Amino acid sequence: MNPFKSSLYWRVLLSFCAVNLVVLVAGGFLAQRFIEYTTAVEIDWSALAQSADLAYEQGGRAGLDAWATRQRHEGVEATLFENGQPLHPIRLPPSIWRSLPAMLAADRGIVLRPWHNLRVYVAVQPVTGADGQLRQLVAFSRSHTRLRPQTREMILLGVQLVLSLLFIGLVGWWVARSVARPVQALRATARRMAAGDLSARVDHRGGAPHDELAQLAGDFDAMAERIEALVAHDRRVLQDLSHELRSPLARLQLIIDLAQRGDDRDETARYFAQAEQEIARLDRMAGEMLALSRLEGGLPGMEREPVDVAELLRDCAARARLEADERGIHLRLDAPTPAVVSGSAILLDRALDNLLSNAIKFSPDGGEIVLGVHVGAGRVTLSVRDHGPGVPPDELASLFQPFFRGSNAPRADGHGLGLAIVQRVAKVHGGVVHASNAAGGGLEVQLELPLAAVGEQA
């Protein structure tokens, strides 16, 4: 997986970029305020004026230049004025330059904050040198305190370090919490499932659409639901199968017991023939149960191919014609056009065969079964209609349940699995099946399937 396409990667990256930006801005701001409010060494403007005058008297303008350079490094812009003119260039805001003549003319010490919302100071301090000449110190500072640049840098670095640790800790806690909570929920759910609670779910809601952890929780819940459904299905199938096998096994045991006790060879042969029929019934039942179990399991990897269900229905009718002829049942087929679907020919053939076999079982001798194929709106409907007794309306919804045998069940042999298999085949192929009592008597079952796309019909 490409990490640059991961939302978790971008969340972590953007979070730490935001932290660095906040630390940079807030660190500078707080360090400046810390310097201004907590440094106790205030500037002595009078002493500063004496120091400037001494440097000028001892070294002239060169000495004053060197002194002014040292002051600038310590955060103070200062020089001496004589007769209203600076003895060394000084950088002052334009508004200060406009006010400076009046301040110099006052001929007294002045310390001002020209902008009350900023801690900026302007000082004018008169000083009389050893030569008796009156000079005036003009100084401009962004702080009322004297602080060396190295000390300022150390304070700034310390404030930024503390803020970095604080914000990185907070963001790290938030990221770890956002990651750890769903992971812990996954672990707790996995432990519950391992202990046998298959209904356990992570149920991690509120995640972003592209949040990998939320997607993982959703996939885990989908897997858990699938496992629970499969286990419940297997248990139900096992219970149903064990229940349904009791009767044929009991009959088989009785037949074998009677055969062992019988002295007449013809009677014994008849018992063994009945035992053979019961074994065949058990084999069919087991086969149908396995087919039903595979269909309910989802048939992973089922290969699909173009299948003409109209041709398939004609083949099923041809195979069933011999059984129908024995009872004088007429099969009428109405399949004028091909109808190609995408699916498994084996499964569809089994479904159609079960529908036709079910119709023959419940048809009266000499009756008629109508088979139809109708195509329209991108779907094909396969119908099988008999003229038997039909089904009570309150039992129609239960026809496709495994092992359901309605009030008409004594009329024919069966295990109640044929229509259940038909429904599973329809579901696998994206179709539906439903039954209804036809007008004039009999049951009509319709299997509706989507037609294959044009490119899939070749």
Instruction: Please tell me the distance from the alpha carbon of residue 215 to that of residue 314, in angstroms, as a whole number.
Output: 48
Tell me how far CA of residue 41 lies from CA of 29, 53, 78, in angstroms.
20, 22, 18
CA 198 to chain CA centroid, nearest Å: 21
Read off the tokens for 156. 């700034």
Edge-first strand listing for the sheet containing 121-128:
85-86, 76-82, 134-141, 121-128, 110-112
Helix pair 265-296, 418-428: axis angle to 10 deg: 30
Read off the tokens for 94. 């334009």
Instruction: Please tell me the distance from the alpha carbon of residue 193 to that of residue 187, in angstroms, as a whole number.
Output: 10
* Cβ atoms 125, 109 nearer than 8 A: yes
Tens of pLDDT, residues 403-425: 666 656 545 555 566 787 788 88
- Coil, strand or helix at 133: coil
Tell me how far CA of residue 290 lies from CA of 239, 243, 303, in angstroms.
14, 16, 19
Tens of pLDDT, residues 218-234: 788 888 887 887 787 67
Query: Pairing mode, if any, of strands 379-385 and 134-141?
Result: unpaired
Closest CA to 15 of 161, 213, 177: 177
Q: What is the mean pLDDT of residues 146-168?
A: 65
In the block, tokens 């996995």 appear at 190
- Of 164 and 90, the structure prediction assigns the larger pLDDT to 90
- What residue segments make up the domains of the chain, in order of their start? 3-36+151-185, 40-146, 198-297, 305-456
pLDDT at 441 over 90: no
Closest CA to 363 of 330, 320, 394, 395: 330
Q: How far apart are the first and last CA of the chain?
A: 37
Q: Tell me what pLDDT residue 126 has.
A: 92
Instruction: Please tell me the distance from the alpha carbon of residue 403 to that of residue 416, in angstroms, as a whole number.
Output: 4
223 CB-near residues (< 8 Å, 6+ apart)? none
pTM of the model: 0.46
- Of 41 and 269, the structure prediction assigns the larger pLDDT to 269
pLDDT at 35 over 60: no
Q: Estimate the share of the chain in helix, then strand, then coil, as percent rounded to the nearest 5.
A: 55, 15, 25
Q: Tell me what pLDDT residue 40 has.
A: 39
* Cβ atoms 164, 114 nearer than 8 A: no
Domain 198-297 has CATH 1.10.287: yes
Instruction: Please tell me the distance from the alpha carbon of residue 35 to that of residue 14, in angstroms, as a whole number.
Output: 31
Q: Tell me what pLDDT residue 258 has.
A: 79
Tell me how far CA of residue 417 lies from CA of 63, 72, 285, in angstroms.
112, 98, 8
Read off the tokens for 246. 């009791």
Q: What is the mean pLDDT of residues 370-386?
A: 91
Which CATH number is associated with domain 305-456?
3.30.565.10
Q: Tell me what pLDDT residue 301 has.
A: 44
Helix pair 212-261, 149-194: axis angle to 10 deg: 10
Q: Tell me what pLDDT residue 145 has.
A: 46
Q: Tell me what pLDDT residue 416 has.
A: 61
Q: What is the mean pLDDT of residues 33-44?
A: 56
Q: Tell me what pLDDT residue 39 has.
A: 45
Closest CA to 122 of 102, 149, 92, 152: 92
Read off the tokens for 387. 């003229």
58 CB-near residues (< 8 Å, 6+ apart)? none
pLDDT at 353 over 60: yes
Query: Which has the minimum average pLDDT: 14-28, 144-158, 307-321?
Result: 144-158
In the block, tokens 């298959």 appear at 198
Long-range contacts of 179-182 (CB under 8 A, 24+ apart): 179/8, 179/213, 182/207, 182/213, 182/214, 182/216, 182/217
The Cβ-side half-sphere exposure at 112, using a 13 Å CA radius, reads 15
Q: What is the mean pLDDT of residues 246-257?
A: 75
In CATH terms, the fold of domain 40-146 is Beta-Lactamase (3.30.450)
37: confidence class by pLDDT, cuts 50, 70, 90: very low
Q: Tell me what pLDDT residue 290 has.
A: 66
